């Protein structure tokens, strides 16, 4: 029986998690905190508390609502979400410090769940193919969000030392994608022609939005302290993802130049910063064995499933759409007189 | 109605069939890469076939002792490195795939520079290479893969022609520690022929430092002949795989015992050095 506070409830995943938890029999009460109320008014049985986590207002909110579990979902991946790099850093770093200070004060909080990101590992040519959870410290070249996420985790580690009685779970998610969520990556893949870095084909993993919520819920409801990478099975490379979405790649020497960034901004895609362009140059892989063995979480969707679910909902009808390719293939087969053969082979097998 | 297929015959039909299937899988992204970025279908159908003429007709690679490469399970192939441009690792990959009855893929370990360069980094990952770091080697070996390492690194590839077939330092023995940790056998591999493809007579040191490259070669043909200088000389190659050295019986903690690691490193190095001397002598004229 517990009272759960979800910090960052105005955003898509925060609002969905709060709803999901409010429907769980193990949770008595869900308190949602954010600077604005969630856009869709149907909060169900959630108590909304308006508080800015970059101020001591969060301390009052925690003192008043006396939660047992605090879920920190207020770490923003893009500066566009916050309205610039300065407020982004303010919300991520100062917000976390204020929240942790309040949790440290509280005599009710016994569990803290932090939604972090695999961005803490950075993306570089000298990165190992798969990052395990204990390899974040020696990761390279951090700036922007990568640096924020690492600093946030450093403060959380400090908190763990000062309050050893509180269970702390840090979930490092790979990019979240699915039919509904809007992220820099989702907006990138709906461009009709997608700028890519020439001569690079980054590998990446995805986690489906439903799996992301399930993992957060599991960490909130059960006791699974520790740091865990969370990703769906398998990998995609960028060219393969674009092919699956029927998108044409436009190779450019770099995505980091002001011209390219300006063009992408004008094309309506969220502002990319160096963290995203580095990710789209070098890619990243994380090891998920700890997720299976210790968090005991099994994602329902693989990386490819998550991407296909996104394509089905948002990116059909591209120039190289699957159906068009299949139609051309069919035409070529009948021109060559191959159309009967495929069926014949199948029968033999 | 006579279709195109009846005129071309069955073999062509099969080829067209395979090509269309391949093209469609590529255009719809219907293939898989492993966690290191290895794309087996692309490697078998495009990358290795592109290298085959060089392997068969230009360098006329002769492979010896392929039976020393295990048919399944993890193993670490350790080879000498030379030739200014690391073509030897590509040829070894092809030798293992084409000559071994199990057609195994050799997962080569590359330097950071490989993964810094556009195109090169992409092709390296697609063909199964990964960064030469302990984490990756151990993951590959734990997964039962055949891993190839060239421990001399740039000291080996970028050495002057006058020092040909003289092994450089074998790194810090990291590869031996990795093999000990996973109990995988070490297969010493000696490559003769790569030294002569781009004989490096000097190094444009200043320019190299300016461009942050380990070296910029000056060969009898490069840069004097322009792009024609990029054509490797047609040397005769011999790749010999030696007897595997077992690492299973060293016991726990051997990987952290520097003495064991140094001894084993020297043993592998000496084996390759001696085989190189024998092979060079046997081959005689490097270009016939």
Q: Which chain B residues are within 8 Å of A125, Cβ to Cβ?
A: 112, 115-116, 121, 131
Contact yes or no for B34 and A338 at CB 8 A: no
Instruction: Give the closest of A199, A244, A322 to B118, CB-based.
Output: A199
In chain A, the percentage of residues whose pLDDT exceeds 90 is 67
CA distances from B111 to A97, A228, B133, B149, B157 (A): 40, 29, 9, 10, 12
Q: Which chain A residues are within 8 Å of B131, Cβ to Cβ?
A: 125-129
Q: Is A243 on the interface with B (CB under 8 A)?
A: yes
Which of the four pLDDT bands, split at 50, 70 and 90, describes residue A345? very low
pLDDT at B281 over 90: yes
pLDDT value at position A219?
97
Separation CA A242–CA A189 (nearest Å): 7
Phi, then psi, of B87 in degrees rounded to 5: -75, -25
pLDDT at A271 over 70: no
Region of poorest pLDDT, from A316-325, B153-162, B178-187: A316-325
Kindly list the structural domains of chain B, giving each domain's residue range(s) and its CATH number in brackets, ordered by start.
36-197+232-283 (3.40.1130.10)
Structure tokens given for A323: 């159906």
pLDDT (average), residues A162-173: 97
Compute the nearest-CA separation of B162 from chain A (Å): 32
- What percentage of chain A's residues is helix, strand, coil (to nearest 5)? 45, 20, 35
Higher per-residue confidence, A316 vs A63 = A63
For tokens 């610039």, what's the residue? A84
Compute the nearest-CA separation of B178 from chain A (Å): 15
Mean pLDDT rounded to a whole number for chain B: 92
Mean pLDDT rounded to a whole number for chain A: 89
pLDDT value at position B135?
92
Peptide bond into B223 cis (omega under 30): yes
Which of the four pLDDT bands, split at 50, 70 and 90, describes residue A273? confident
User: Among all residues of chain A, which has the CA nearest to that of B6?
Assistant: A337
User: Among all residues of chain B, which has the CA nearest to that of A304?
Assistant: B32
Whether the Cβ atoms of residue A194 and residue B117 lie closer than 8 Å to each other: no
Region of poorest pLDDT, from A79-93, B85-99, B237-251: A79-93
Q: Is A40 on the interface with B (CB under 8 A)?
A: no
* Residues A291-304: tens digit of each pLDDT: 999 999 999 999 99
* Residues B34-51: tens digit of each pLDDT: 999 999 999 999 999 999
Q: Is A85 on the interface with B (CB under 8 A)?
A: no
Which of the four pLDDT bands, split at 50, 70 and 90, describes residue B3? low
Which of the four pLDDT bands, split at 50, 70 and 90, describes residue A38? confident
Instruction: Give the closest of B17, B24, B121 to A341, CB-based.
Output: B17
pLDDT value at position A4?
96
User: Among all residues of chain A, which has the CA nearest to that of B13?
Assistant: A338
* Residues A13-25: tens digit of each pLDDT: 999 999 999 999 9
Contact yes or no for B3 and A234 at CB 8 A: no
Whether the Cβ atoms of residue A23 and residue A41 lie closer than 8 Å to each other: no
Contact yes or no for A333 and B20 at CB 8 A: yes
Q: Which chain A residues are within 8 Å of B6, Cβ to Cβ?
A: 337
Structure tokens given for B169: 């330092």
Q: Which chain B residues are within 8 Å of A333, Cβ to Cβ?
A: 20
pLDDT value at position A136?
79
* Residues A100-128: tens digit of each pLDDT: 999 999 999 999 999 999 999 999 999 99
Contact yes or no for B125 and A244 at CB 8 A: no
Which of the four pLDDT bands, split at 50, 70 and 90, describes residue B122? very high
Q: Which chain B residues are within 8 Å of A130, Cβ to Cβ?
A: 35, 135-136, 139
Compute the nearest-CA separation of B212 from chain A (Å): 15
Higher per-residue confidence, B94 vs A343 = B94
pLDDT value at position A346?
40
Which of the four pLDDT bands, split at 50, 70 and 90, describes residue A143? confident
Contacts 24+ apart (CB under 8 A), B202-208: B202/B160, B203/B158, B203/B160
Higher per-residue confidence, A34 vs B12 = A34
pLDDT at B11 over 60: yes
Structure tokens given for A261: 């960034």
Which of the four pLDDT bands, split at 50, 70 and 90, describes residue A1? low
Query: What's the complex ipTM?
Result: 0.90
In chain B, the percentage of residues whose pLDDT exceeds 90 is 76
pLDDT value at position A108?
95
pLDDT at B229 over 50: yes
pLDDT (average), residues A139-152: 81
pLDDT value at position B109?
96
pLDDT at A251 over 50: yes
CA distances from B228 to A93, B84, B220, B224 (A): 56, 16, 11, 9
Whether the Cβ atoms of residue A243 and residue A213 lie closer than 8 Å to each other: no
Structure tokens given for B269: 């190095």
pLDDT at A272 over 90: no
Region of poorest pLDDT, from A322-336, B81-95, B211-225, B231-245: A322-336
Whether the Cβ atoms of residue A54 and residue A29 lie closer than 8 Å to each other: no
pLDDT (average), residues A309-335: 81
Whether the Cβ atoms of residue A107 and residue A44 lie closer than 8 Å to each other: no
pLDDT value at position A349?
33
Contact yes or no for B35 and A242 at CB 8 A: no
For residue B189, list its beta bridge partners.
B79, B241
pLDDT value at position B92?
97
Which of the four pLDDT bands, split at 50, 70 and 90, describes residue A329? confident
Contacts 24+ apart (CB under 8 A), A34-43: A34/A7, A34/A8, A34/A9, A34/A10, A34/A74, A35/A10, A36/A10, A37/A10, A38/A9, A38/A10, A38/A14, A39/A10, A39/A15, A40/A15, A43/A15, A43/A18, A43/A19
Separation CA A286–CA A130 (nearest Å): 4
* Residues A190-216: tens digit of each pLDDT: 888 889 999 999 999 999 999 999 999
Contact yes or no for A244 and B28 at CB 8 A: yes
For residue B190, list its beta bridge partners.
B240
User: Among all residues of chain B, which has the CA nearest to that of A236?
Assistant: B33
* Residues B160-169: tens digit of each pLDDT: 999 999 999 9
pLDDT at A263 over 50: yes
pLDDT (average), residues A50-74: 95
pLDDT at B190 over 50: yes
| Most confident stretch, A294-298, A335-339, B10-14, B216-220 | A294-298
């Amino acid at each position: 029986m517990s009272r759960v506070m979800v910090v960052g409830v105005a955003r898509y995943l925060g609002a969905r998690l709060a709803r999901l938890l409010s429907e769980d029999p193990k949770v008595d009460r869900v308190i949602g905190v954010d600077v604005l109320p969630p856009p869709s008014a149907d909060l169900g049985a959630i108590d909304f508390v308006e508080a800015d986590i970059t101020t001591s207002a969060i301390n009052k909110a925690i003192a008043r609502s006396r939660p047992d579990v605090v879920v920190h979902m207020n770490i923003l991946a893009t500066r566009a979400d916050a309205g610039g790099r300065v407020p982004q850093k303010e919300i991520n770093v100062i917000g976390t410090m204020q929240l942790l200070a309040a949790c440290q004060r509280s005599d009710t909080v016994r569990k803290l769940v932090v939604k972090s990101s695999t961005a803490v590992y950075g993306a570089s040519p000298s990165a190992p193919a798969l990052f395990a959870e204990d390899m974040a410290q020696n990761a390279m070249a951090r700036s922007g969000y990568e640096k924020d996420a690492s600093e946030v985790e450093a403060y959380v580690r400090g908190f763990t030392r000062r309050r050893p009685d509180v269970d702390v779970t840090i979930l490092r998610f790979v990019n979240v994608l699915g039919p509904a969520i809007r992220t820099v990556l989702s907006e990138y893949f709906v461009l009709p022609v997608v700028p890519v870095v020439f001569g690079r084909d980054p590998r990446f993993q995805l986690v489906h939005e439903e799996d992301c919520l399930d993992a957060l819920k599991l960490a909130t409801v059960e006791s699974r302290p520790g740091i865990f990478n969370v990703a769906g099975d398998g990998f995609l490379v960028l060219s393969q993802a674009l092919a699956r979405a029927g998108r044409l790649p436009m190779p450019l020497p770099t995505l980091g130049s002001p011209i390219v960034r300006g063009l992408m901004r004008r094309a309506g895609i969220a502002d990319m910063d160096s963290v995203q362009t580095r990710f789209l140059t070098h890619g990243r892989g994380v090891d998920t064995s700890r997720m299976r063995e210790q968090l005991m979480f099994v994602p329902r969707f693989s990386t490819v499933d998550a991407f296909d679910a996104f394509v089905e909902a948002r990116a059909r009808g591209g120039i190289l759409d699957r159906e068009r390719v299949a139609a051309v293939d069919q035409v070529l087969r009948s021109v060559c007189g191959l159309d009967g053969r495929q069926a014949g082979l199948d029968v033999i097998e | 109605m006579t279709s195109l297929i009846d005129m071309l015959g069955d073999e062509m039909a099969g080829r067209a069939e395979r090509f269309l299937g391949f093209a469609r899988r590529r255009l719809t992204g219907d293939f898989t890469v492993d966690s290191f970025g290895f794309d087996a279908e692309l490697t078998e159908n495009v990358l290795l076939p592109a290298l085959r003429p060089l392997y068969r007709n230009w360098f006329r690679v002769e492979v010896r002792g392929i039976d020393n490469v295990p048919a399944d399970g993890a193993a670490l192939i350790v080879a000498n490195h030379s030739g200014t441009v690391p073509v030897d690792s590509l040829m070894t990959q092809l030798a293992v795939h084409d000559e071994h009855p199990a057609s195994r893929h050799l997962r080569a370990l590359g330097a950071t520079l490989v993964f810094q360069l556009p195109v090169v980094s992409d092709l390296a990952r697609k063909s199964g290479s990964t960064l030469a770091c302990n984490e990756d080697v151990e993951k590959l070996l734990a997964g039962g893969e055949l891993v190839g390492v060239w421990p001399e690194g740039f000291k080996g590839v970028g050495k002057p022609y006058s020092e040909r077939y003289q092994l450089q330092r074998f790194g810090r023995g990291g590869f031996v520690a990795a093999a000990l940790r996973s109990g995988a056998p070490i297969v010493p591999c000696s490559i003769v022929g790569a030294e002569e493809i781009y004989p490096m007579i000097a190094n444009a040191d200043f320019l190299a430092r300016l461009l942050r490259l380990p070296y910029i070669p000056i060969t009898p043909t490069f840069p004097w002949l322009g792009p024609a200088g990029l054509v490797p000389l047609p040397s005769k190659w011999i790749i010999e795989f030696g007897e595997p050295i077992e690492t299973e019986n060293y016991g726990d903690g051997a990987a952290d015992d520097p003495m064991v690691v140094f001894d084993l490193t020297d043993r592998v190095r000496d084996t390759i050095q001696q085989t190189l001397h024998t092979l060079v002598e046997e081959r005689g004229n490097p270009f016939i």
